[in-house]
Structure 1
Amino acid sequence: MKTPKIVLATIGSLGDLHPFIAIALALKARGVSPVLAVPQDHVDKCRAAGVKAEALLPTFEEVGRATGLDDEMIVRQVIDDTHFLIDHVLLPPLADSTDRLLRIAEGADLLVGSAFALAAPIVAERLAIPFVSIILQPMSWFSPGDPPVAPGFAALARPPLGLIGTGWNRFVLGAVKLEMRRRYGRRVNRVREAHGLARSHAAPILEPGTPPMLSLGTYSPVLAALPADAPRPASLTGFPWFDSADGAPSMLDPGLAAFLAEGPPPLIVSLGSFLPFAAADFYRHSAAIAAELGMRAILLTGEAVTAASRDIMVCSYAPHSLLFPCAAAIIHHGGVGTTGQALRAGKPQLVVPFMGDQFDHADRITRIGVGLSTTPRRFATEGASLIQSLLDHPGFSASAATIGKRVAGEDGASIAAERLLGLLATSHRHRVSSRPSA
């Protein structure tokens, strides 16, 4: 019997990559041949984790070079301009990435993709294989009943919503999708037409170009329930866990472990894998806040730099699953991967969102009572008092610990793998039953 081949395509930061590695490993453990289609920079990490991987995009350096900007300028552009990422990073290589993915997906039985992997639905339709959409964060359903909290969506009515509020949100989101179709639909359709496919009326990024046969929300129902208006079939899996630095089994650096053992629980500060390029001030403010509170701190800065004092430990990266449980409190940007790991650790959080879905996660963390949030501009002046509030009010720690136990028990990778295999079996039975009899 042929070993099923499932291709999983994702583009983005570690928050976009790690769930896909976790799901691929769960599929591999179930006898599937998974292949990850990722940017060139992530290929070695995927292979080190034990999963076959091929390049869907060239290196980030090559993509960045085409913009004429350095890393810091690119990050600042993405923060300041919501369309920059689509205009200058995702769409220019779409024709090439579609050709690459067609080669990678040859002989595949199923194609799984994230919102940024614009080639995935095109290739699935071209090869006539089922497409599965991975929804990495709650706001990406763009639900009128559970509207996103993010720049560009200020006109949306906030819960609790009645019929009028929900109807208004449906109108606003429809207008947003119409603008995305107007702005980007033609460029996506040129690639579709080059592969003999009909034009799509989907809103790029906000909707897959090919209707998925299944949509999986790969986050905890603690963070958000599955929206009642989500396209069916759809389900939540919980968070798929993976946080190795290089693909090898996770472990703490000996120097970091020694620092943790030498004193009381520190503040732990992380801006994920993307924002550190443009956030040196944020880390300086974090160190100053720790000193003001008389606390130690660990700064995950994306690059190794010298610590400012014996109470400040600076390192490029550490597995969040091992480090975050050692925190007094966690200060982070609200990326979905970091948010999941902070919830899992069961520690109070201060969320400082910079862009996109981070604002939505900050709002949700505040609503479920495990943290507070502020803006990057106000962080330097009010960060210390907010952290003090997190530590002084036991309700935050109690709620975080209770929710942490629940989230830590989730196995989103296994659930996602089972859902994919179930779809594969159903698809196979359908193909067999639809064959003409001899």
Structure 2
Amino acid sequence: MRKIVLTTIGTLGDLHPFIAVALALKARGFRPVLAVPEDHVAKVKRAGLEAVAVLPGFDTIRERIGLSESEAVRRMMSDQRYMLEQAVLPSLSACARTLDALIADADAIVASTMVLAAPIVAEKRGLPLVSVMLQPMAMVSALDPPKTPDFWMMRQRPAGKIGERWNLLMYAGFRQILHRLYADQLDVVRIEHGLRPRGAMRMLEAGREALLTIGCYSPVFAPLPRDAPENARVVGFPIFDSANGGSCALDPALEAFLRAGPPPIVFTLGSFAVYAAGDFYREAAEVARRLGQRAILLTGERETAATDSDVFACAYAPHSHLFHRCSVVVHHGGIGTTGQALRAGKPQLVVPHMGDQNDNGHRIARAGIGLVLRAKHFSARRATIMIEDLLRDPSRREHAARIGETIAQENGAETASRAIEQALGQGQRVRAGRPEPKPIPA
């Protein structure tokens, strides 16, 4: 069996697509091994896959930083540079050593863009690198740039060359900043592995240097921009949906609540922002009361308790079994939750807290199937007005349902695994001196 190492770091929204793709690769006869944070190893193994820890768990990181759980989450959400410098870079050398040993007998490495060690060890070993873009903004497109606070200066969807050139200039500025800040740390690891210093100018370029670049989201949500890497494909959302890696059936108490009345509004903050939720769930329960609607609160806590007869709170519920039975999905804008809400065909109120969540929310609003309310502005009064608008607008509901029908037909994990298999076969033929065959249509 041909071994493929898949590596990602981050939240469940980062982990679940990799589990889905790994399972699809396993079904195609490969031996996938996941290199993930320590927190996720047990879950991957329960899903029937091999797993190795490539990064310390969150508790280890926050204890080193000296912050409580909620303080660490708030700090990382408010400052992406802090997250990179405190959670990712301190473990870069150890991560590279672990990956280097793991890929010694592998045929390829499949990596998310945040695993900075992956391109280093792939280059050292001469191993094919498949770069996975979990969010549309990771494509680093001048024609479809991110819309986030950090990229406020970008021209959105520029119609002419002036706007495109402006965006290219802004990206060049970002590369210079990254180089100035992180070149030394990256080069230390490169030198440890016998490679020449290269700096950090290419931190945003993993997709352009890979054998294959995969966008693990739906082309309905974000079509491949014209200036994407030539090797890029958008394959759809790879779906894996389980709290612990095993069964993903709904809890009987939640099932009973759903059956007892009309479709509720669901409120969730995913698997990271939930630990610094503040008043979000208290305000959410108040929204339901003001609207006279039922609600489900996915709180991330261990306890499962009903706040009252019309508001049900639980730690987690598999989104693919829940969202399609709700009226509106109110969430943080993480790519995993966004994909599940799109697939369910429901209007969305996105409450972004950090990074790509802002861009994902903007795309939902731009598609005409939802609204965006910044996390610091979330209140029962504001959310009530916006959710009432979503509930009363049949055009948004119908449009969301049509998009959901299309996305539900996609199989991102299968398409990604097939693309990886094909790319590896082509790569072998090219290295053997034979002509590269024409690509199989998606």
Q: How many residues align?
A: 432
Aligned residues of 1:184 and 1:204 also touching (Cα < 8 A): no
Give the aligned residue type for 1:427.
G
Instruction: Say whether residues 1:173 and 2:171 are aligned partners.
Output: yes
Cα separation, 2, equivalents of 1:58 and 1:254: 35
Aligned residues of 2:186 and 2:199 also touching (Cα < 8 A): no
| Residue 439 (structure 2) aligns with | none
| Aligned-pair CA distance for 1:142 | 1.7
Instruction: Say whether residues 1:400 and 2:400 are aligned partners.
Output: yes
Aligned residues of 1:132 and 1:213 also touching (Cα < 8 A): yes
Cα separation, 2, equivalents of 1:376 and 1:425: 46
| Aligned-pair CA distance for 1:268 | 0.4
Q: Deviations for 1:200-222, whole angstroms, at most 9, x for unmatched residues?
A: 24446533399211111010011
| Residue 45 (structure 1) aligns with | 43
| Aligned-pair CA distance for 1:231 | 1.6
Cα separation, 1, equivalents of 2:183 and 2:212: 23
Cα separation, 1, equivalents of 2:421 and 2:99: 21
| Residue 192 (structure 2) aligns with | 194
Matches within 5 A, 1:378-397: 378-380=377-379, 381-397=381-397
| Aligned-pair CA distance for 1:269 | 0.7
Give the aligned residue type for 2:196.
A
| Residue 357 (structure 1) aligns with | 356
Indicate the SS of the match to 1:314.
strand
Cα separation, 2, equivalents of 1:371 and 1:203: 36
Q: Deviations for 1:237-283, whole angstroms, at most 9, x for unmatched residues?
A: 01101011111131101111011011111110111100011013111
2:68 to 70, 78, 85: 70
Q: Deviations for 1:355-414, whole angstroms, at most 9, x for unmatched residues?
A: 100110111001111111111232213100110010111011100100000011110111
Aligned residues of 2:158 and 2:164 also touching (Cα < 8 A): no
Instruction: Say whether residues 1:29 and 2:24 are aligned partners.
Output: no
Cα separation, 2, equivalents of 1:298 and 1:402: 24
Instruction: Say whether residues 1:219 and 2:225 are aligned partners.
Output: no
Structure 1's 85 and 207: CA in aligned 2 closer, same or farther, altered over 3 A? farther
Q: Deviations for 1:83-103, whole angstroms, at most 9, x for unmatched residues?
A: 011110000010011111112
Give the aligned residue type for 2:369.
V
| Residue 429 (structure 1) aligns with | 429
1:56 to 39, 50, 54: 54
Q: Deviations for 1:8-50, whole angstroms, at most 9, x for unmatched residues?
A: 0000000000000000000000000010000111111111111
Aligned residues of 1:5 and 1:108 also touching (Cα < 8 A): yes
1:12 to 10, 28, 34: 10
Cα separation, 1, equivalents of 2:183 and 2:33: 28
Cα separation, 2, equivalents of 1:209 and 1:383: 38
Instruction: Say whether residues 1:91 and 2:67 are aligned partners.
Output: no
In terms of mean alpha carbon deviation, does 198-207 or 35-44 score higher? 198-207
In terms of mean alpha carbon deviation, does 32-41 or 419-428 score higher? 419-428
Cα separation, 2, equivalents of 1:205 and 1:73: 28
Instruction: Say whether residues 1:315 and 2:302 are aligned partners.
Output: no
Q: Deviations for 1:122-169, whole angstroms, at most 9, x for unmatched residues?
A: 111111111111000011112111010011111111224211111111
Instruction: Say whether residues 1:228 and 2:222 are aligned partners.
Output: no
Aligned residues of 1:351 and 1:372 also touching (Cα < 8 A): yes
Indicate the SS of the match to 1:308.
strand
Indicate the SS of the match to 1:155.
coil
| Aligned-pair CA distance for 1:7 | 0.4
| Residue 437 (structure 2) aligns with | none
Cα separation, 1, equivalents of 2:102 and 2:275: 31
Indicate the SS of the match to 1:372.
strand
Cα separation, 1, equivalents of 2:235 and 2:365: 22
Instruction: Say whether residues 1:342 and 2:347 are aligned partners.
Output: no
Matches within 5 A, 1:248-259: 248-259=246-257
What's the TM-score, normalizing by structure 2? 0.95
Instruction: Say whether residues 1:133 and 2:131 are aligned partners.
Output: yes
| Aligned-pair CA distance for 1:346 | 0.6
Q: Deviations for 1:300-334, whole angstroms, at most 9, x for unmatched residues?
A: 11113444322111111111000000111100010
What's the TM-score, normalizing by structure 1? 0.96
Cα separation, 1, equivalents of 2:342 and 2:191: 44
Give the aligned residue type for 1:141.
M
Cα separation, 2, equivalents of 1:210 and 1:150: 23
Indicate the SS of the match to 1:285.
helix
Give the aligned residue type for 1:281.
D
Structure 1 unaligned segments of length 5 or more: list them.
none
Aligned residues of 1:203 and 1:209 also touching (Cα < 8 A): no
- Give % identity: 47
| Aligned-pair CA distance for 1:71 | 1.3
| Aligned-pair CA distance for 1:343 | 0.2
Instruction: Say whether residues 1:416 and 2:396 are aligned partners.
Output: no
Cα separation, 2, equivalents of 1:71 and 1:203: 33
Aligned residues of 1:185 and 1:204 also touching (Cα < 8 A): no
Structure 2 unaligned segments of length 5 or more: list them.
435-442
Give the aligned residue type for 2:396.
F
Cα separation, 2, equivalents of 1:31 and 1:352: 41
| Residue 373 (structure 1) aligns with | 372
| Aligned-pair CA distance for 1:181 | 1.4
Give the aligned residue type for 1:404.
G
RMSD: 1.4
Matches within 5 A, 1:137-156: 137-156=135-154
Aligned residues of 1:200 and 1:209 also touching (Cα < 8 A): no
